[in-house]
Each structure stands twice: as C-alpha cells, then as structure tokens.
C-alpha cells in the first residue's frame, strides 16, 4: 500500500534530465531492456528513482514517439475521444499512435480545452455551456440516448485499452524472458494484440437484431417505421483516412450480436491466449446483455428524428475541415448543420468569424435550439463512433 519509497530516497536527483543521463538510460535499455524499473537506476548508474526513469523513457526517449505539432486529425481524434472517455489519457493515447498520454494531456490542457471553452463549449461535457435550454422533451431524451451510446462505447474502449495494456505486458514479459538482449524496437513496439475483427458500433447491434439480418453488401437501406438509414458499399467498417488528411468515411456495421460474439471469439482470438478470449468474450456478453434493455431506448431515440442518415451525410460530418461554410442558420435547413457537423464546429478555426457574422443565427449552434443541438450532437457522436470504428486499423497498436 501507499507510495513506493523509491522516490523518497535522499541523494536522488530530480528535475530536468541531462543529455548524459538520457544517454545512460538509453544505453542501458538498449542493452538490457528496462526489466524492473526500480532496479534500473543503480544498474544504469543513474541517480534517479525508477519512476523518473520510466517516465523519461516512456514520454521522451522511446524511439517510437512522434513529437511536434498535432495534426488536425489528431486534434479531432483527441476531442472526440475525450468526449467519450473523459480524462482517460492513456486510453485516448492507445488510439493515437506514437503520442504519449502525457503529451496528449498537455495538449488538451493547453490548446484544446481553451479552444472549446472559448467557443462556449464545456470541455468536460462537450456540450454548449447553456445547455439548460434543453427541456425534458424528445430532443433532450434523444441527446441522453446518444450519451448512452457514448457510455457504451466508452466502456468498450476502456476494455480495449486494457487489452492493449495486457498485450503489452505479455509481450514485454516474453521479451524479457528471452536469452538474447531485446532490441529497443521490441521493447517499445510491442506485437500488435489480437486483431479485433469486428470494429462495429456495438450499440447498434441489438437494433439490428430487431430489424433482422442478412446485410451482405451493396447499398443498404435499412428502414424502421420512422427512420431510415442508408449505408453504402460495404457494411463492414471501412475508414477512409485519405492521404491528404481527409477524414472519416462513416460506416456502421450491423452484425447480429450472437454471431458477432462468436466471430469475435473464434476469429479474432483464435490465436490468442484463452484468458484474452475469455476476457473479451465476457466483456462482449456483458455489453450485449446490457444492450438488451436499452435497445428500446435506442429505437425511441431514432424515432425522435426523421432525419435520414446517409453515409454521405455522415461522411460530411467529419470532412472539409478547411472548407468553412457560411451558413444561414435561420433558414431552418438543418442539413447545413448536419453536413457541417459538431466536430467541425469545434475544430473550425474561424469560429469567431462565424459567431460574429452569424449574429443571431450563429448562436443557434452554440446555444442550441433543441433541434439543431440534437442534429449537431448526432453528427458529433457519429463522428466519434466512426473514429472509434476506424482508429485501431490506423493505429500501430491495433
């Protein structure tokens, strides 16, 4: 219990690392791996506590770290994942290859949080600050349901992050047990964990259960009594991270929950440890059990809007970051808002200009009339879910 006493030792150096110390640490890890962090400093000839060494290695010296300015896409990823996960920086970092949790946390606190605040968006809830305008009508209920989805996905992301950590642990254990000294590459770039074949929006699976199955390809037009969802080409998640920084192509995969569970276990973890299989299997079961009573809410949520969700409209919610549209928000044409998407609002560099030029109408998106707020949120969460669906394939981790 309690703190590790290693840092309490007198005579241990604190503060900024010198190049000499860095070199010592690098040389040692290159040669021996880090093994026990606690024992490392004395072995490496460093007057530092193990924690300090670990931090220095993880946040600075590791060769697979990307440093420097965050790209627009990375910013978007952080904002979206933060909306889902909150301040779970390590979980967020698993979806941002080569970025450390510390770096992401710093970037959030120094850049993104301020930007959102400046725009009148609460950086904690990711909602416009005067959210009190929403009443207990269908819209707020819909928003609440979207929050449900976010929570589900949040739980899933956390579980995946845990799997990543476990996998790293296993890899490092395996590496440490080898007779040959591990290369820094092996130490810091673990084998990818078992692929998770179904990167689908789990929250929608029970709904699919209700709608029936048999979606195999082509243009899919799924209809419920009051809503319509259109999907293009492949139902299976496909993420278009265009080379030019173009963002996500929205896809939602509909897979029957029982079979997807089966696939997950049989295909995704066929070569992994039984514990991992069990872990994920249990998680999936728990997840889908929890879904069983919420699918009705899901349907209600969807019934609350008559908007057609097309792959194109979803896609447009996350693209054209640099293309700023000057919409007239008074014309009741929600499509404009839908197409722009909440995330784009967050990321748009010309926010101030918008607020000024759209005086009155521009306030809608910020203050949120119920309808527009819901539309914005829908795209916001869709954008997040698209990201979630796609990120692992883009990530070195997955």
- Residues lying near DNA in the complex (CB under 7 A) are found at 1-7, 13-17, 35-38, 48, 50-52, 54-56, 59-60, 67, 87-91, 101-103, 105-107, 109-111, 114, 165, 168-169
Nearest-approach distance from CB 270 to DNA, in angstroms: 23
Token pair recorded at residue 45: 């000839």
Task: Specify the 3-state DSSP secondary structure of 251.
Answer: coil
Nearest-approach distance from CB 87 to DNA, in angstroms: 4
Nearest-approach distance from CB 103 to DNA, in angstroms: 5
Between 105 and 324, name the residue whose CB sits nearer to DNA. Answer: 105
Say how far apart CA 266 and CA 300 lie, in whole Å.
33
Between 52 and 389, name the residue whose CB sits nearer to DNA. Answer: 52
Whether the CB-CB separation of 184 and 29 falls below 8 Å is answered with: yes
Q: How far is CA 223 from the centre of its chain?
A: 28
Say how far apart CA 330 and CA 287 lie, in whole Å.
41
Nearest-approach distance from CB 250 to DNA, in angstroms: 27
For strands 121-122 and 220-224, give the pairing: unpaired
Nearest-approach distance from CB 212 to DNA, in angstroms: 39
Between 2 and 225, name the residue whose CB sits nearer to DNA. Answer: 2
Whether the CB-CB separation of 135 and 284 falls below 8 Å is answered with: no
Radius of gyration of the chain (CA): 23
Between 29 and 250, name the residue whose CB sits nearer to DNA. Answer: 29
Say how far apart CA 44 and CA 283 lie, in whole Å.
41
Nearest-approach distance from CB 389 to DNA, in angstroms: 21
Nearest-approach distance from CB 64 to DNA, in angstroms: 15
What residues contact 330, with CB distance under 8 A and at least 6 apart?
360, 361, 364
Nearest-approach distance from CB 167 to DNA, in angstroms: 11
Between 87 and 224, name the residue whose CB sits nearer to DNA. Answer: 87
C-alpha pair distances (Å), 97 with each of 74, 91, 104, 261, 373: 10, 12, 11, 27, 32
- The residues pairing with 121 across neighbouring beta strands, listed in sequence order, are 128
Say how far apart CA 277 and CA 289 lie, in whole Å.
18
Phi-psi region for residue 101, left (φ > 0), alpha (ψ -120 to 50) or beta?
Answer: alpha
Nearest-approach distance from CB 363 to DNA, in angstroms: 25
Between 66 and 325, name the residue whose CB sits nearer to DNA. Answer: 66
- Number of separate helices (H) and strands (E) present in the chain: 19, 5
Name the nearest CA neighbour of 189 among 173, 171, 174, 176: 171
Nearest-approach distance from CB 166 to DNA, in angstroms: 8
Between 54 and 129, name the residue whose CB sits nearer to DNA. Answer: 54
The DSSP secondary-structure symbol of 192 reads P
Between 188 and 382, name the residue whose CB sits nearer to DNA. Answer: 188
Token pair recorded at residue 49: 């506590």
Say how far apart CA 61 and CA 54 lie, in whole Å.
10
Between 36 and 177, name the residue whose CB sits nearer to DNA. Answer: 36
Token pair recorded at residue 126: 């990711």
Between 101 and 297, name the residue whose CB sits nearer to DNA. Answer: 101
């Amino acid at each position: 219990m309690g703190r590790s006493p290693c840092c309490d030792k007198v005579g241990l150096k604190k503060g900024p690392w010198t190049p000499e110390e860095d070199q010592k640490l690098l040389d040692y890890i290159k040669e021996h791996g880090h093994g026990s962090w606690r024992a490392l400093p004395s072995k490496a000839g460093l007057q530092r506590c193990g924690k300090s060494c670990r931090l220095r290695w993880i946040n600075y010296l590791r060769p697979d770290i990307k440093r420097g300015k965050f790209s627009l896409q990375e910013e978007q990823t952080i904002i979206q994942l933060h909306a889902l996960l909150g301040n779970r920086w390590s979980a967020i970092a698993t979806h941002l290859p080569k970025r450390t949790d510390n770096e992401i946390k710093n970037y959030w606190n120094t850049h993104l949080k301020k930007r959102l605040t400046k725009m009148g968006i609460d950086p904690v809830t990711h909602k416009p600050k005067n959210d009190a305008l929403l009443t207990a009508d269908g819209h707020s209920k819909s928003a609440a349901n979207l929050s449900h989805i976010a929570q589900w996905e949040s739980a899933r992301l956390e579980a995946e992050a845990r799997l990543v950590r476990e996998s790293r642990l296993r890899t490092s254990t395996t590496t440490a047990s080898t007779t040959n000294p591990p290369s820094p590459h092996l130490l810091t770039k673990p084998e990818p964990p078992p692929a998770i074949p179904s990167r689908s929006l789990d929250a929608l699976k029970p709904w699919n259960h209700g709608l029936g199955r048999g979606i195999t390809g082509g243009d899919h037009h799924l209809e419920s009594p009051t809503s319509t969802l259109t999907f293009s080409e492949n139902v299976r998640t496909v993420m278009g991270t265009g080379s030019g920084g173009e963002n996500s192509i929205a896809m939602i995969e509909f897979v029957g929950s029982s079979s997807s569970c089966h696939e997950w276990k049989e295909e995704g973890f066929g070569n992994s440890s039984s514990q991992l299989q069990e872990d994920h299997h249990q998680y999936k079961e728990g997840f889908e059990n929890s879904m069983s009573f919420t699918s009705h809410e899901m349907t209600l949520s969807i019934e609350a809007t008559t908007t057609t969700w097309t792959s194109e409209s979803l896609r447009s919610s996350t693209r054209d970051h640099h293309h700023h549209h000057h919409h007239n928000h008074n014309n009741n044409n929600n499509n404009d808002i839908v197409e722009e998407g909440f995330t784009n609002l967050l990321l748009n560099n010309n926010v101030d200009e918008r607020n000024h030029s759209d005086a009155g109408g521009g306030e809608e998106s910020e203050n949120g009339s119920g309808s527009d707020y819901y539309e914005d949120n829908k795209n916001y969460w869709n954008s997040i879910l698209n990201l979630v669906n796609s990120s692992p394939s883009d990530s070195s981790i997955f």
